Structure 1
Amino acid sequence: MLKISKLFIKHKTSTMQKNTPQTSSDTVFEQEINRVKELGQKQYAHWDNELFIDICKGAAQLCWNSIRKQSNRDKVFAAYMELIREGIGCAYITQSLSSGHYKYLIKNQKTLNKFLGITWKSFLEYCLIKEMPLTISQVPAQQQLDLMVKVWNLGENIRQETPWKGLYILSRAEELPTLTKIEKFLVDTMAPLLRPPAPARWQPPFRVSIIDGSNIHDDFLPGDMHQVAPSVICVHDRRLAGVYGGIFINNEPNTLLLHNQCLGHSQNDDCNIALEFEHSSVKIQSHRVDLTRLGEHHSHLLCSGGQLLVSAVDSQRIWQVVTG
């Protein structure tokens, strides 16, 4: 895993400054773009030059325009372009926004990603391409380099974590108030999912609700299920390869997310609970619970926090039973 350090950025920016005479702002921008382009082409066999050009026209241009009046603009812009180079080279960055997107976002900062017609591949990509160009000028100039290092390292660490973490953080990315609060945002986002649940009583009353698998994927058919964190369930599609659903049960309604790989290793606790399935019902510790229209059950999962998830043989639905 590559770590971008403050020393790394200082070295790169100082090298750029030694080799580049102080000229007009437009010339500095062009020289830095050319420097990074040449370096990227030399370093990476799969360098995506078309993507790099798109980023230069959009994210890089916006970043430069927002900091061009700063005395440390050359260092900050060189640091940003180093992150872009590494991001493209490592395939962390796979797409960009157009200049039109950025103009719209500047006027309508609360615009959701779905209205932009883009699906981010990772939280790091979201931060580097959307958040950083739009907001870096709001950060005190003397803090900008440190912030870039922090964003890169946190974002890359998330990419190396078990898949459900990056998936969930990305789903909440638009709640990030500002990049300067990125650490608090990550802690506050993850804490409810990692908190150990109180021991379940597995006694009445029981509440039954329905999770519609089509809200994960149009053709999703629930198969094997396992718990990957106290409040996170991974559901495998029993027919489609590379299709997995994440059920995040820390709030209501549950958050449902789609991923292309299993969300993590099973952390199922051994729940010594007596279950007996019948047609459209289940007995939990001898207490009958109706599961309307379930028919024959296909698979089930007992969660230590007092959740029972049940899938049917011929349905996209998952029946969720919560103990009182």
Structure 2
Amino acid sequence: MSDAWEALVQELATQGPRQHSDWDAELFHALVKGPATALRHALNAEPRRDKVMGAWLKLVAEAVGLGQLDRASAKHLLNRKGPVPESLTLVGRCLLQLAPAQLPAYPAERAVSLLARTWNLCEGLATQPLWLNRYVASAAAEAPALEKLDEFLATTLAPALAPARAATFTGPFTLAMLDTRKLTDEFLPGDMHLAAPSVLCVHDRRSEDVKVGIFLAPEGGARFLGLQPCLGSGPEEKAPALELGTNAVRVNGREAPLPLLGTPHRTLVASSGFVVASAVDSQRLWVLDTP
């Protein structure tokens, strides 16, 4: 290791507890020993390496100090397996996964500039409701390019932030059937709640550590948002009462079929015009929508 690198590590390790009451020294040194060492090897040209590594490590230290990167999220991001922790943030994913994979392809000045831009974009997201950060951080598992992180954010956030419609539940109804096996073999839909008018969080009935996010889109366009930490509960909904029949549902006096539902396990009505149901013995979700 270079003297400059060792001096920077010592400086940040000393400043950390002075500047942040929740400083995690053990985590910081683990990140220096693990992902920092791997990134230094990938950036094998001096002085390029020290310049990029200095910018990266300062942001890692700030993320640790602010609690945007903790032991649970670091373990998940570095091991790339297991349940998604609720502490996962976009800045953590960018620093520990996206940056190490992408920075070696850039000249030093461009790499440092990308790091600063990435931090600023993540900081803006950190001021938003907690579920948005969890949602975006999970969506970023598909590894967007840091150069196009702003485009990724705009595309990812657009459906979640779209104004909610005020449905009258007068029909006609459109049905989408979502099979959770496409995300994970063992998922069995259990409790579910809205994080936003068009964003649904579904918990695994058998494993409390596993949740699935769903975007409730009209005209049968409902789709998975992927495996997520719990997105939290949004504001209380005022939706019409629901009556369940045999493979059918009646809402606001209108009946709609739920083919093959059998015995229902959970149902949810969203005032934006959606009815979601799960069955006792199925991994599928039935999503009805109506104007």
Normalising TM by the smaller chain, what interval? 0.7 to 0.9
Matched residue, 1:159: 126
- Aligned residue pair count: 281
Q: How does 1:180-199 map to 2 (within 5 A)?
A: 180-196=147-163
Determine the C-alpha separation between the residues in 1 that align with 2:41 and 2:284: 50
Aligned match for 1:92, one of 47, 68, 73: 68
Matched residue, 2:135: 168
Q: How does 1:257-272 map to 2 (within 5 A)?
A: 257-260=227-230, 263-266=232-235, 268=237
Q: CA deviation at 1:92?
A: 2.0
- Cα distance change on mapping 1:216 and 1:47 into 2, 3 Å: farther
**Which runs of 5 or more structure 2 residues have no equivalent in the other structure?**
none
TM-score (norm 2): 0.72
Matched residue, 2:99: 132
Determine the C-alpha separation between the residues in 1 that align with 2:138 and 2:24: 26
**Which runs of 5 or more structure 1 residues have no equivalent in the other structure?**
1-24, 99-112
- Cα distance change on mapping 1:165 and 1:97 into 2, 3 Å: closer
The yes-or-no answer on 1:77 pairing with 2:53 is yes
Amino acid paired to 2:12: V
Amino acid paired to 1:162: P
Q: CA deviation at 1:127?
A: 0.8
The sequence identity of aligned pairs, in percent, is 28
Q: Is the 8 A contact 2:64 2:70 kept in 1?
A: yes
Q: Any idea what SS the aligned residue of 2:2 has?
A: helix
Q: CA deviation at 1:86?
A: 1.4
Matched residue, 1:20: none
> Max radius of gyration: which structure?
1
Determine the C-alpha separation between the residues in 2 that align with 1:321 and 1:33: 55
Q: Any idea what SS the aligned residue of 1:117 has?
A: coil
Q: Is the 8 A contact 1:210 1:319 kept in 2?
A: yes
Q: Is the 8 A contact 1:233 1:246 kept in 2?
A: yes
Determine the C-alpha separation between the residues in 1 that align with 2:187 and 2:43: 44
Q: CA deviation at 1:30?
A: 2.0
Aligned-pair RMSD on alpha carbons? 4.3
Determine the C-alpha separation between the residues in 2 that align with 1:53 and 1:114: 15
Q: Is the 8 A contact 1:246 1:257 kept in 2?
A: yes
Q: Is the 8 A contact 2:22 2:66 kept in 1?
A: no
Deviations 1:78-116 (A, max 9, x none): 222211211222232224989xxxxxxxxxxxxxx7984
Deviations 1:225-281 (A, max 9, x none): 33x435312457999999876322345543354434x5243274x66x685443543
TM-score (norm 1): 0.66
